[in-house]
Structure 1
Amino acid sequence: MENNVNDISQYKDVWVFAEQRNGHISPVVVELLGEGRRIADETGSNLCAVVLGNNTGSVVDELARYGTDIVYSAESPLLENFTTDAYTKVITDAIREYKPEIVLYGATHVGRDLAPRIAARVNTGLTADCTKLEVDPTDKKLKQTRPAFGGNLMATIICPNHRPQMSTVRPGVMERAKRYETASANVVNIEISLTPSDIRTKVIEIVKSRLNLVSLGEAEVIVSGGKGLGNPEGFTMLRKLADTLGGVVGASRAAVDAGWIDHSHQVGQTGTTVKPRIYIACGISGAIQHLAGMSDSDIIIAVNKNPDAPIFNVADYGIVGDVNEVVPALTDAFAEFRLQAAN
């Protein structure tokens, strides 16, 4: 089936792909539902979630509590674990049948794998890794903004002639949806046409890696380091502070490029965009790409020996000094505070 300008009027509603594992929705889904609710209200349409899996009743109930009007549910033992073939076919068939106007995915490993395949099959466009979504007040088209040229420019893209309008959205940049304990949603059970022969790969075993357990997008506290640490051993010092505060360790692109820490810790436009309650930047000068990835944090504390470092322009609290002296002092102070609070 090919979309064209003549059948755009058939498409309506905002869909959010509700990525889930073991009955728990991904944190980015809650952000997408918050953004989707705003877009649906501005376009006068329904906010819908689409969830695939096996025995997903609890997930459907949870999605309803975040304000969805309709939950599209596809259940099958063949959907128990994510496979590109199965999920692509089921969602493609559902889009062709129900015709959503907008479909949003998290820019996760799954979303980045799934969205372009679906876009190709339904002959529509896809804007990847969006950091901002707006509805054009004149024609209600979706304006999708993403970093371009390594984060040095921001590009706004529209999809004027094909539907649905599709975006993957970077985790950590949108406001989370409000949760309502008594909310309910209409549930539509998707009739699926899926056989084992449709799936070219088979999941033999799921191995949970014990490496790189950092989850920047969900962290309440992040202690990040940059080249100002002086050497990779500086991250050992930051981990002590992060552990004391119950947080995780982040890093600037410069520190990652230097090989001091794994890319999974990188904060910024080319890493992970974060909005923790507390963000402590240690030895980070504040390049624009980094600031774009953390400037929405509730409280920003900067430690840098250069009083003119750009990071101080966004910091709520600034400490001018040597990180190798300041960070251990902060660690000791917070540890003492926790000890007193416990007693």
Structure 2
Amino acid sequence: MSDIIRRDPRAEWIARNRLHPLHAAMQPVQDRWMGPNGLIRKNVHGIGFIGPNGIKRIDRTGAQQGGSAKRSAAVEVQLPLHVVAAPAFYITVVPDMVGGRLSSHDRDLLGLARQLAGQDGAVLAVVFGEHKESAFDTAGVDRLLVIDGDAFAGYSPEQRVQGLRAVDNQFDPRHWLLPDSRTGGGELGRRFAASLGERPATRVWQIKDGQCSGRAGAGREDLVRPLARLILAAAECADPVSETRHEATPVQLSTEVVRSLARIEDLGSVAVDPGAIPMAESEFIFSGGNGVQDWELFHKTAAVLGATEGASRVAVDNGFMARDRQVGATGTWVTARVYVAVGISGAIQHLQGIGACDKVVAINMDPGCDMIKRADLSVIGDSTEVFKALIEAVEAWRNGGKRDAA
């Protein structure tokens, strides 16, 4: 054969024509490139192979690409470690830790603290009670202070203010950051500000050039003021940390927190109807779409699981669910800890609405739909059979728990 490289005019024309069906196949796939901060990025869409059923698979062992598991592990990108040996000052963050884990609001707050800390300062996170979070290092925490004890269990804002006063006396932070939320941060921040005699900056959504901007006038106006020492920040106040890894070194208080005489008695949690919880505030959402065949069984399953019901736009348009139950860009943006999508194919508007959910579980008959690709856990099967299995599993677990308790 000749060694002369010949041009293919048709292939070049397809590569230039964006409307041609084969245009994407003619484009070179860029597997790796260097980001703006010098980190090597990988294109996850360009890695893998097509399986026997036409589904794209990602080979994490490297065997399909002719490599080995050791070679695949060697090219894994390791985030650079940011070390602050002797902090010049501290930026203290008190996250809500709803459910014992960092929420998206908490991560935005840590991103804002990272901006204020710069290279010389350290971000100190103060957590009350036990937690389940294991990713403080990738969230931007340099120092981690856990204050536990029976006095801080449950609803104890007065005792927590005493703990924050002890932290303030020992570390003398340059700024305090708390989430301006309904899940505890807003109230605790205002109580703490009154204890310190500080005027807090509330509903802050931007910090720039030594000034902070907060919402005012029922959200219709911005109030700009000099940067305060105590800041109650709104959600999406900054981008969360994603390109660095931090020490998250545990620290302790040098003195014991004085136990105050509580004027508030915590009587425990109150059982509420999951259907009465607004979807924007719900932690567990059970959402149905066009693939649900038995809606009565769907409602029963949601009640057994104790989840708030949601729906796709198609299900709402067909009259199976009320309009206020619609999830998505054209409905309600949700931030649930667990979002279960049953029979939802995954339109772009719906995927936008669940973008802030921590864990997504998809139940669908189509293994190639977009919701399956988005989900952290997928169940391929008939929704009716899955409903029955869920109900049986939950009832068996509850009956077993009662017998053990007896």
Q: TM-score per shorter chain, which class?
A: 0.5 to 0.7
The size of the alignment, in residue pairs, is 234
Aligned to 2:207: 133
CA shift, 1:129, in A, is 0.9
Moved more, 11-20 or 70-79: 11-20
- Tell me the SS of whatever aligns to 1:36: helix
Quick check: 1:167 aligned with 2:231? yes
CA shift, 1:71, in A, is 1.2
Conserved in 2, the CA contact under 8 Å of 1:18 and 1:50?
yes
- Give the whole-Å Cα distance in 1 for the aligned partners of 2:247 and 2:190: 31
Conserved in 1, the CA contact under 8 Å of 2:139 and 2:240?
no
Aligned to 1:36: 113
What are the superposed Cα offsets for residues 241-263 of structure 1, whole Å, 9 maximum, x if unpaired?
A: 53xx7x99429xxxxxxxxxxxx
Find the partner of 2:167 among 87, 94, 114: 94
Find the partner of 2:126 among 45, 50, 61: 50
Q: Which amino acid aligns with 2:127?
A: V
Quick check: 1:178 aligned with 2:255? no
Quick check: 1:214 aligned with 2:279? yes
Conserved in 2, the CA contact under 8 Å of 1:17 and 1:105?
yes
Aligned to 2:48: none
CA shift, 1:177, in A, is 2.3
Conserved in 2, the CA contact under 8 Å of 1:96 and 1:122?
no
Between Structure 1 and Structure 2, the one with more helix by share is 1
| Change over 3 Å in CA distance of 1:223–1:73 after alignment to 2 | same
Aligned to 1:144: 212
Conserved in 1, the CA contact under 8 Å of 2:280 and 2:332?
no
Aligned to 1:323: none
Find the partner of 1:198 among 258, 261, 265: 261
Q: Which amino acid aligns with 1:131?
A: W
Q: Which amino acid aligns with 2:191?
A: R
Conserved in 1, the CA contact under 8 Å of 2:330 and 2:349?
no
Aligned to 1:68: 141
| Change over 3 Å in CA distance of 1:248–1:204 after alignment to 2 | farther
- Give the whole-Å Cα distance in 1 for the aligned partners of 2:368 and 2:251: 53
- Give the whole-Å Cα distance in 1 for the aligned partners of 2:100 and 2:138: 15
Q: Which amino acid aligns with 2:229?
A: Q
Mind listing any 5+ residue stretches in structure 1 that lack a counterpart?
Answer: 1-10, 252-263, 266-276, 281-293, 299-334
Find the partner of 1:119 among 181, 184, 193: 193
- Give the whole-Å Cα distance in 1 for the aligned partners of 2:249 and 2:364: 52
> Counterparts in 2 of 1:329-340, with a 5 A limit?
none
What are the superposed Cα offsets for residues 227-247 of structure 1, whole Å, 9 maximum, x if unpaired?
A: xx9xxx9981463x53xx7x9
What are the superposed Cα offsets for residues 113-155 of structure 1, whole Å, 9 maximum, x if unpaired?
A: 1111111221222011111122x2xxxx4x2111222333212
Aligned to 1:306: none
> Counterparts in 2 of 1:220-239, with a 5 A limit?
236-237=322-323, 239=325
| Change over 3 Å in CA distance of 1:27–1:12 after alignment to 2 | same
CA shift, 1:217, in A, is 9.4
Conserved in 2, the CA contact under 8 Å of 1:219 and 1:248?
no
Conserved in 2, the CA contact under 8 Å of 1:74 and 1:192?
no
- Aligned residues with identical type, % of pairs: 14
- Give the whole-Å Cα distance in 2 for the aligned partners of 1:170 and 1:224: 28
- Give the whole-Å Cα distance in 1 for the aligned partners of 2:229 and 2:282: 25
Q: Give TM-score, length-normalised by structure 2.
A: 0.48
| Change over 3 Å in CA distance of 1:116–1:238 after alignment to 2 | closer
- Tell me the SS of whatever aligns to 2:135: helix
Runs of 4+ in 1 over 4 A off after TM superposition: 216-225, 277-280, 335-340
Conserved in 2, the CA contact under 8 Å of 1:223 and 1:238?
no
Q: Give TM-score, length-normalised by structure 1.
A: 0.56
Find the partner of 2:176 among 91, 103, 128: 103
- Give the whole-Å Cα distance in 2 for the aligned partners of 1:297 and 1:206: 27
Conserved in 2, the CA contact under 8 Å of 1:12 and 1:100?
yes
CA shift, 1:103, in A, is 1.0
Larger relative contact order, structure 1 or 2 (CA cutoff 8 Å, min sep 6)? 1
- Give the whole-Å Cα distance in 1 for the aligned partners of 2:137 and 2:368: 42
Quick check: 1:20 aligned with 2:84? no
> Counterparts in 2 of 1:221-300, with a 5 A limit?
236-237=322-323, 239=325, 242=327, 249-250=331-332
CA shift, 1:66, in A, is 1.6
CA shift, 1:27, in A, is 2.8
- Give the whole-Å Cα distance in 1 for the aligned partners of 2:123 and 2:221: 31
Q: CA RMSD in A?
A: 4.2
Aligned to 1:187: 250
| Change over 3 Å in CA distance of 1:297–1:80 after alignment to 2 | closer
